Structure 1
Amino acid sequence: MTATSLTTDASRTFVVADLGGTTLRVGRVAAGAGSAEAVRRMPTEGIGRYPGLTARTLQDRVVDQLTRELVSYLGSSGGEGASAVGVSFAGPMTKDGTVLAGPTLWGSATPPLPITNMLTRRLGVPVVVANDITAAAWRYASAETDPFCLITISSGIGHKVFRNGEVLISDAGHGGEIGHWRVDPAADALPCECGGRGHLGAMASGRGVLLAARRAAAGDPRSFGLSALADTAGGDPARITNEDVARAVRADDPFATGVLRACMVPLAQAVNCVFTAIGVRRYLFIGGFAVAVGHRFVTLLGDELTRLGCFGLGDEEIRAMLSLGAEDDDHCLIGMARMLDRTLPALVNIGGGA
């Protein structure tokens, strides 16, 4: 696939969904469009809402919710006449659209899920399913002239490298899951929702930062009491929210900023590793938490990355590598439509995206 070969047939319209660990979004995107229309947002019926349910029960619940919402949308004025359905999924997938894991959706391991075939049978229209960050990368593929790494900081952490017209990932779904890189080898390291410990996503995702803020507040009540977080949370560490943390960091609150700085250390190490391994010099950050913090997120990450150093680069060159993506939550919807526009004409037996 090449970014330059994307078609722009605006007469075609796609129904697209972004199935994330926190939110399910469904909308309509015309081929070649730069925005999504008639978007519906709702909480995902997964582990974030029902942490006590088994992984298999949550998997069934999430897939049923996705099917129900797509059926409803296809039957409404927003989805009538759609050429195809595209779904971005928060987890690793094979090239043929089989889900390998859904840590932020249903937690621990379950058998592989042939979600593309399931949805095709249930919906009766062509369906393409791709990893969420793979889909989001297609939003930026036509605008970015150099290889780039797209990293999402939301319920979890994921990344994809787009180079020479394709996302670098194996057909079996390996790669692009830096959130599950183990950065803390300690036996008692923080648990990840996938069942492992010490993973980057457990420490530097939105959920990881929130946990760190609550633990820091409980462990240092004096500093917490002087923070804006104490006001918004009513003095109760358990009532701190991600929105509270993001707002406090934007206001340069020392306590909240200190918490985020500590969480940035392993993220900076991850960026350093990608740069050192393959030389990519463009890193775009999306995801609810990164966007909520805004440009302070990139500034603080730049502080840690320059402290670590990137072999062969000066401080200004290092900071210039880091940017925020578009300040909305439609990356996967728009990217999925662009991916559909490119892949759908070539599909005979409808399969999933890489």
Structure 2
Amino acid sequence: MPSTYHVETFPAATPAASSVFAAVLSQGPLTRVELARRTGLSSAAVTKAVRPLMEAGYVVEAADDGVRASVGRPANPVRVDGGRALFIGVKVTGDEVIAVLTDLCCRIRVARHAPLTAHEPSAVIGLITALTEELLTEALGYGVAVQGMGIAVSGDVDRSDGVVRYSPFLGWRDIALAELATAATGLPVTVDNDVRALTVAEQWFGGGVGCANFAVVTVGAGIGCGLVVNGRVVSGSHGVAGEIGHLSIDPQGPLCHCGNTGCVEAIASDSAILHRIREDTGRPVADSAEALALARADAPGARAAYARAGEAIGRAIGAVVNLLGPERVIISGEGLAAYDLFAEQIRDAFAAAAFGTAEQCEVTTRPLPFDEWARGAAAAAIQTFIGSDTC
């Protein structure tokens, strides 16, 4: 390209300021007193953190019951000015690239979809660059700059280095995606695992708001899990925390693409279900839509494949709850289209696996289209911009 946008330095030079901004972003409007309580900071530290954010226009005084309070007093609630900055989020699937333009509050302003016909990194970067050019043109109409881009990819992603270590759906190993995308677009780029990026968005803006400990479990082409522990999204020392899809729950089970046997993903992913139905019914089932139709028509073998998938997912959720004790588990992903076929098995297997009061964990569903996954990538970019990193 490169981008002609001026990328600013966010005026939160300390962890305290970053913490305050993140709290206002996800839970605001909040008074300074409430901010001190929620962040554990002193009132003086909160006031010191808020001042430069207000001076730079990232935080503004909020109306209280429709009446504008006098500016600057501690009792006045403050909120994030979503229009102060823009971000781009990109979700890469095996056959499509979805790109969104969001504001600072991660509200989608524009969305673009394009088919992905080749998986070579150069082809993917070329498509991302083309979509970015379109969104940067759209951004001109908002009068503020794009401050960063997030790219979400399935698989083993090292966010700190911006490297995709392994993505089975793209066939990638050790691709320096952040470096390549930055060179092509001129924007700062954050690359993250797609489920982890979605979890950031859910923590700040979705089903996890207000939860200090929760998990997002995604079902579909793969089985993923994002974890929030003590208010922070967990990436682990090697960037692969939460990979419940590769829990081996059946030593005699099918071979997984990771090389192990009996993984949850080898039993419950879309492709695994299709394979099982083809084997058990002898029918050349073409895709998930046909598999769903067969199962709902009570075709022998088809419902059993979904039931087996539900049991595997429920056992995996039980393992997560036993290990981490979250207050909520959110199930999402394109695989929810079949939820009626395996919901009972998920519930029963979870109840059987959960230890003691862990069974009280709330398990809920939240269907999210791929635009929301791209929004998650934008949330990861916002996270980088404001200096609120994962653990």
Q: TM-score higher than 0.5 here?
A: yes
Who is 2:312 aligned against? 266
1:140 aligned to 2:202?
yes
* Cα gap change, 1:194 to 1:64, in 2 (>3 Å): farther
Structure 2 length as normaliser, TM-score? Answer: 0.70
In structure 1, how many angstroms separate the alpha carbons of the residues matched to 2:296 and 2:84?
42
Correspondent of 1:128 among 173, 181, 190? 190
Displacement, 1:314? Answer: 8.9
Correspondent of 1:194 among 241, 252, 258? 258
In structure 2, how many angstroms separate the alpha carbons of the residues matched to 1:298 and 1:331?
23
Q: RMSD of the TM alignment (CA)?
A: 2.8
Correspondent of 1:99 among 148, 159, 164? 164
Correspondent of 2:287 among 229, 237, 241? 241
The code of the aligned residue for 2:98 comes to R
In structure 1, how many angstroms separate the alpha carbons of the residues matched to 2:91 and 2:378?
11
The code of the aligned residue for 1:105 comes to L
In structure 2, how many angstroms separate the alpha carbons of the residues matched to 1:148 and 1:32?
21
1:157 aligned to 2:202?
no
* Cα gap change, 1:270 to 1:314, in 2 (>3 Å): closer
Identity among equivalent pairs (%): 21
Displacement, 1:164? Answer: 2.5
The code of the aligned residue for 1:183 comes to I
Q: Secondary structure of 2:355's match?
A: coil
1:4 aligned to 2:62?
no
In structure 2, how many angstroms separate the alpha carbons of the residues matched to 1:35 and 1:79?
12
In structure 2, how many angstroms separate the alpha carbons of the residues matched to 1:295 and 1:173?
33
1:82 aligned to 2:146?
yes
Who is 1:222 aligned against? none
Question: Number of matched residues?
Answer: 307
Correspondent of 1:70 among 115, 128, 132? 128
Q: Secondary structure of 2:82's match?
A: coil
1:283-302: CA deviation from partner (whole Å, max 9, x where unpaired) = 11121122x22455444411
Q: Secondary structure of 2:146's match?
A: coil
2:216 and 2:227 in contact (8 A); partners too: yes
1:15 and 1:79 in contact (8 A); partners too: no
Displacement, 1:255? Answer: 4.8
* Cα gap change, 1:5 to 1:297, in 2 (>3 Å): farther
Unmatched segments (≥5 aa) in structure 1? 47-60, 219-236
Who is 1:332 aligned against? 373
Displacement, 1:252? Answer: 6.9
2:309 and 2:342 in contact (8 A); partners too: no
1:322 aligned to 2:352?
no
2:162 and 2:190 in contact (8 A); partners too: yes
In structure 1, how many angstroms separate the alpha carbons of the residues matched to 2:235 and 2:91?
20
The code of the aligned residue for 2:125 comes to T
Structure 1 length as normaliser, TM-score? Answer: 0.76
1:215-264: CA deviation from partner (whole Å, max 9, x where unpaired) = 1212xxxxxxxxxxxxxxxxxx2234211233455677775332201122
In structure 1, how many angstroms separate the alpha carbons of the residues matched to 2:117 and 2:81?
32
Displacement, 1:44? Answer: 6.0
Who is 1:206 aligned against? 270
* Cα gap change, 1:113 to 1:151, in 2 (>3 Å): same
The code of the aligned residue for 2:226 comes to K
In structure 2, how many angstroms separate the alpha carbons of the residues matched to 1:207 and 1:178?
17
Displacement, 1:137? Answer: 0.5
* Cα gap change, 1:123 to 1:184, in 2 (>3 Å): same
In structure 2, how many angstroms separate the alpha carbons of the residues matched to 1:26 and 1:331?
10
Task: List aligned pairs for 1:269-284, cutoff 5 A.
Answer: 269-284=315-330
Q: Secondary structure of 1:339's match?
A: helix
Structure 1 range deviating more: 200-209 or 8-17: 8-17
* Cα gap change, 1:331 to 1:300, in 2 (>3 Å): farther
1:53-91: CA deviation from partner (whole Å, max 9, x where unpaired) = xxxxxxxx1x22321112212322346653322101111
* Cα gap change, 1:66 to 1:15, in 2 (>3 Å): farther
Q: Secondary structure of 1:238's match?
A: coil
* Cα gap change, 1:12 to 1:247, in 2 (>3 Å): farther
Who is 1:305 aligned against? 350
1:15 and 1:85 in contact (8 A); partners too: yes
* Cα gap change, 1:9 to 1:88, in 2 (>3 Å): same
Unmatched segments (≥5 aa) in structure 2? 1-17, 26-79
1:78-119: CA deviation from partner (whole Å, max 9, x where unpaired) = 466533221011112222222221122217xx3x22221222
Who is 1:167 aligned against? 233
In structure 1, how many angstroms separate the alpha carbons of the residues matched to 2:259 and 2:138?
39
Question: Higher Cα Rg: structure 1 or 2?
Answer: 2
Q: Secondary structure of 2:94's match?
A: coil
* Cα gap change, 1:215 to 1:83, in 2 (>3 Å): same
Who is 2:94 aligned against? 21
In structure 2, how many angstroms separate the alpha carbons of the residues matched to 1:248 and 1:302?
23
The code of the aligned residue for 1:31 comes to L
